[in-house]
Structure 1
Amino acid sequence: MWMIRGLSSFLFGTIEFSLKSLGVASHGFNVTSKVLDEDRSKRYEQGSIEFGVLSPLFVPLTMAAIVNLVAFAWGNVELIRSSNSPEELFMQMFIASFGILNCKPIYEAIINRRDRGRIPTKITAISAFLALALHATAYVALRK
Structure 2
Amino acid sequence: MWLIRGLSSDLFGTLEYINNHLGTSSRGFDVTNKTNDNELRKRYDEGMFEFGVASPMFVPLSTAAIMNLAAFLWGIFQVLMGKYDLFGQVFIAGFGVVNSWPIYEAMVLRSDKGKMPTKITLIAGFLAWIMFVLSSFVVRM
TM-score scaled by length of structure 2: 0.89
The match for 1:136 among 128, 133, 138 is 133
* Aligned sequence identity (%): 51
Deviation at 1:120?
0.6
Deviation at 1:36?
2.2
Q: Give the aligned residue type for 1:102.
A: N
Q: Which runs of 5+ in 1 are unaligned?
A: none
Q: How many residues align?
A: 141
Q: 2:77 matched to 1:77?
A: yes
Q: 2:50 matched to 1:53?
A: no
What is the SS of the residue equivalent to 1:55? coil
Q: 2:96 matched to 1:99?
A: yes
> For residues 106-144 of structure 1, what are the alpha-carbon distances to aligned partners after superposition, in whole Å with 9 as ceiling and x for unaligned?
111111111001101000000000111111111111225
Q: How big is the alpha-carbon RMSD for the aligned residues of Structure 1 and Structure 2?
A: 2.1
* Deviates further, 35-44 or 116-125: 35-44
1:4 and 1:20 map into 2 onto residues whose CA distance is 23
Deviation at 1:42?
1.1
Query: Measured at CA, do residues 33 and 111 of structure 1 come closer, stay the same or move farther in structure 2, by a change above 3 Å?
Result: farther
Deviation at 1:83?
3.2
Q: Find runs of 4+ consecutive structure 1 residues off by over 2 angstroms.
A: 19-30, 32-36, 80-84
Q: 2:109 matched to 1:112?
A: yes
1:42 and 1:5 map into 2 onto residues whose CA distance is 24
TM-score scaled by length of structure 1: 0.87
User: Is the contact made by 2:62 and 2:121 (CA closer than 8 Å) also made in structure 1?
Assistant: yes
- What's 2:44 paired with? 44
User: Is the contact made by 2:49 and 2:102 (CA closer than 8 Å) also made in structure 1?
Assistant: yes
2:4 and 2:88 map into 1 onto residues whose CA distance is 23
Q: Which runs of 5+ in 2 are unaligned?
A: none
2:83 and 2:138 map into 1 onto residues whose CA distance is 24
